[in-house]
Structure 1
Amino acid sequence: MTLALAMDQAGLSVAVVDALEFSDQLAPTFDGRASALAYTSWRMFEALGVAEHLREHAQRIEHILVCDGRPYGGDKPGGPGPHTLHFDRNEISEGPDGEPLGWMAENRRSRQALVKALQARPQITLIAPARADRYEHRKGGIDLVLADGQRLSGKLLVACDGKFSRLRDQARVRTAGWGYGQKGLVATVRHAEPHNGTAYEYFLPSGPFAILPLTDNRSSLVWTEPDAIADALKEAPEAVFQEELEARFGDFLGEVRPEGPRFAYPLGLRYAEQFCDDRIAFVGDAARGIHPLAGQGFNLGIRDAAALAEVCGEARRVGLDIGAVSTLRRYEDWRKFDSATLAAGTDFFNRLFSNDIEPIRQLRGIGLSIVDSIPPARRFFMRQAGGETGDPPRLLKGQRLDAA
């Protein structure tokens, strides 16, 4: 949906095919997830007319605390450990109304905002529910054949169909990757003390445990455990889940209680050998899927959309073919380095921190403290996570693509 809005703003004719009714994706229990939006992603939402529909449901992220989690068990509480890396948005954006490090929003709220923005663009064709079956090349273009036999014709097909993309498989684009033997347990909790816009990412032997601030004194948990334990926690009785939650969460935000259902998603790394093919571009998880510990998966997809829309818009303005390999290689070159860096980084940190080997634990704690003591290093990592390093596309700077 984000890509469709960006392509439309760039002056291109767009159709969106989705396997689900858009109304089904807006239900509170659709998938339970929330996503962190980097501040450059929020700028793009503002430029596309999405932020105005999302702002009241989005929580500013003012601080991020990264640390080794305290050991838990018996009478030992969980929670953040002694070695902490603190990111403060005031270091890169001054003033009470300055730009935050990012925003947190439940996925259904983001979808609602995107649907409202799409409804304001009647020139965008929405086809749902419908399933893409296959594509066929033709002279000067490409056709997408839907499962019901309907045929769509265009200059460019963009696959946004996830880590196990069927369209990428049809193109015979190879991928590299592996599963982590972990699942991300996702739940929403309410706590007694305010989070003050602080996101916590602390590392336990089983994997990262993220507490991400939501509106109304709630937080979204992304709780990583080995597959069997995650499945057991998902199905555990409320009393058992409460006990396990308190053991890891700690009491630093007072009493904590789960709200709503729990979900578990398998975690893995998958990276496409190429981000484009003849008249096809791969965007989001179809290009790469990474571990969620840095909260960057959705943001990488948004950056893909910003880059592809800008490349195609410029090609159209100068009379070039938007689906030509020479056009799409510009998109691929723009996005591959950022993608590879984050994919490798999240994989490395997940392996480094998902253990309880005492010498390694001590060294990584000291490493966090050292980085925390170097302001330029802190600012670099904040801008890197925000998507502002390198040469960001115009939309990530908050510039409209239809502006002169």
Structure 2
Amino acid sequence: MEADIVIVGAGPVGLSLARSLSGAGLRIVVVEQQRLADIGEPQFDGREIALTQKSVRLMRKLGLWDFIDPDARAPLCRAKVLNGASPGALEIGHELSGHSELGWLVSNHLIRKAAYDALQGSVAQHDDVTLLAAEKVSGVRTDDAFASVTLESGKVLAARLVVAADSRFSSTRKMMGISADMHDFGKAMLVCRMTHETPHGHTAWEWFGYAQTLALLPMNADPATNAPQSSVVLTLPVGEVNEIAALDPDAFARHIERRFMRRLGAMKLASTRHVYPLVSVYPQRFVAKRFAAVGDAAVGMHPVTAHGFNFGLLGLETLGNQIIEAQRSGIDIGAASVLRRYEDQHRRATRPLYLATRFITDVYTNNTAPARLARGIMLRAASRLMPFRRAIAASLTG
């Protein structure tokens, strides 16, 4: 099979990239190892995605936003950072951003579904994207003239450009010989939805406790009971997380109440529970000969700054713009100059925050006495610095 572009990975970034390129006169093939039913009807996976204002604008442009039920979009109006048992917090309100909300919270599986539906609508109009489901890539080869992707089924796809969008542990990136700075935090995140007595006021919490990290993402009220509802994220060593995840629902709820020091009142489990390893990834290169990486395959962020999928959208926009401009100008879309411009722009946009996030997690998850003292000092100082608080607000809105 021949194509102009082969995209490996039909997650929200891979599907959105295909959608952004559809209609530009290119033949696109998307390869995904999941079954078509799983791509078209993804199930709840526990992850709630914090979308910046800029990301929402791009999702509107691509047609994704309209496929998400307005009742499933939860406004994020405030954010606060807590340290240990201290009642004080660094608070960032939407008024510092110039918007009526800092951003929006939407379930990952709904974004995946919206990306699939938006792509199907574009394919119906342009007939230029082929989705190969239940197929796994076994090899990638590129040279000055073309690229080829071999599938385990024996199919060979010829293309001018191969794009990896197949997770932070990208096997496609590894096949191209690109190494990555991978940091395993030795911990795991347990994520689920819970209802609680105390209203959240559409405020997100990042709570750096001692020997634990808690996050609270404010969702819309539970449709059945109208009780306040949030996504709870608990980060602990892997063994502890697995033990807590195995508790029966009532015991689990009481356990989480205690970890939140009952600041939310009585809590109740409202969804399935999911556990994810905590690993950040930053490749040495985003591109190679006739190859580019996007999404988590390019930048796998620690979730503390909530920029993972936002960087994915930013990367696909940058790469998509370079490809479309090259196509319109009659330039080879796989040319080194085209890919280098993408890499330079995306590295400048992501590297500073990636490094800052590593610093934050190193300091705020360190439980030594000097680190605890430094954390308190930094939070108190940040609370008094309006330019710093405005900068955080600007980052949260994108």
TM-score by length of 1: 0.87
The DSSP-based 3-state class of the residue aligned with 2:122 is coil
Pick aligned residue for 1:204 from 203, 209, 215: 209
Q: Distance in 1 between matches of 2:40 and 2:379?
A: 39
The Cα of 1:140 is off from its aligned counterpart by 2.6
- 1:370 aligns with 381
Equivalent residue for 2:361, pick from 338, 343, 350: 350
**Counterpart residue number, 1:232:** 243
Asked if the contact 1:83/1:366 (under 8 Å) is kept, the reply is no
Select the structure with the greater relative contact order (CA < 8 A; seq sep ≥ 6). Answer: 1
The amino acid across from 1:107 in the alignment is N
Q: Partners in 1 of 2:198 and 2:218 — Cα distance?
A: 12
Of residues 217, 220, 230, the one that matches 2:231 is 220
1:111 correspondence with 2:112: yes
Matched with 2:170 is 165
- Tell me which residue corresponds to 1:302: 313
Q: Which residue of 47, 51, 74 corresponds with 2:61?
A: 47
Q: Distance between the aligned counterparts of 2:219 and 2:80, measured in 1?
A: 16
Q: Does 1:151 align with 2:156?
A: yes
1:239-265 superposed Cα distances (whole Å, 9 cap, x missing partner): 432232011223333321112221111
* 1:23-66 CA-partner distances (Å, limit 9, x unpaired): 32566755222211121111110111110111511111111111
CA distance 1:139–1:332, change in 2 (3 Å): closer
Q: Residue by residue, what CA displacement relative to the aligned partner does 1:204-249 show, whole Å, maximum 9, x if unpaired?
A: 1234311011222321122110111111111123343223201122
Asked if the contact 1:134/1:145 (under 8 Å) is kept, the reply is yes
Unaligned residue ranges in structure 1 (runs of 5+): 71-80, 388-404
Residue 325 of structure 1 corresponds to which residue in structure 2? 336
Say whether the 8 Å CA contact 2:257–2:265 is kept in structure 1. no
**Of the candidates 136, 145, 149, which is equivalent to residue 140 of structure 1?**
145
Match of 2:28 in 1: 14
> Aligned pair in 2 of structure 1 residues 39, 9: CA closer, same or farther (>3 Å)?
farther
* Counterpart pick for 1:125 among 123, 130, 150: 130
Distance in 1, matches of 2:150 and 2:21, equals: 21
| Amino acid aligned to 1:201 | E
Corresponding residue of 2:346: 335
2:387 maps to amino acid: P
Inter-partner Cα distance in structure 2 for 1:13 and 1:379: 44
User: What is the one-letter code of the residue matched to 1:62?
Assistant: C
Name the counterpart of 1:77. none
**Counterpart contact for 2:138–2:151, Cα < 8 Å:** yes
Q: Distance in 2 between matches of 1:139 and 1:92?
A: 47
Q: Is the 8 A contact 1:24 1:30 kept in 2?
A: no
Question: Is structure 2 residue 395 aligned with structure 1 residue 384?
Answer: yes
**Contact 1:207/1:353 (CA < 8 Å) preserved in 2?**
no
State the partner residue of 1:85.
90
Checking the alignment, whether the CA contact within 8 Å between 2:144 and 2:289 is kept in structure 1 is no
Structure 1 distance, partners of 2:40, 2:199, is: 27
Task: Tell me the equivalent position of 1:67.
Answer: 82
The range that moved more, 40-49 or 295-304, is 295-304
CA distance in 1 between counterparts of 2:259 and 2:25 reads 50
Superposition deviation, residue 355 in structure 1: 3.2
Aligned equivalents of 2:56, 2:260: Cα separation in 1: 29
CA contact (8 A) 1:193 1:253 kept: yes
2:255 to 219, 233, 244: 244
1:199 shift after superposition: 0.9
Structure 1 equivalent of residue 103 of structure 2 = 102
Cα offsets for 1:283-323 (capped at 9, x unmatched) = 12212322111111111111111110011111112111111
Distance 1:55 1:90 in 2: 26
Q: How many aligned residue pairs are there?
A: 373
Query: 8 Å contact 2:250–2:268 — kept in the other structure?
Result: no
Contact 2:97 2:397 in 1 (8 A): no
Q: Give the equivalent residue in structure 2 for 1:279.
A: 290
TM-score when scaled to structure 2? 0.88
Q: Secondary structure at the match of 1:66?
A: strand
Equivalent AA in structure 1 for residue 78 of structure 2:
H
- Any idea what the Cα deviations from partners look like across 1:128-174, whole Å, max 9, x if unmatched? 12212212336632122222122222211100111221111111111
Name which of 348, 359, 371 aligns with 1:360.
371
Contact 2:290/2:335 (<8 A) preserved: yes
Alpha-carbon contact 2:42-2:112 (below 8 Å) kept: no
Q: Tell me the residue number matched to 2:52.
A: 38
CA–CA separation in structure 1 for the residues paired with 2:389 and 2:140: 46
Residue 204 to residue 25, structure 1, CA distance change in 2 (3 Å): farther
* 1-structure distance, mates of 2:22, 2:91: 39
Rounded to whole Å, the distance in 2 between the matches of 1:326 and 1:222 is: 42
After superposition, the Cα gap between the structure-2 partners of 1:60 and 1:232, relative to the gap in structure 1 and judged at 3 Å, is same
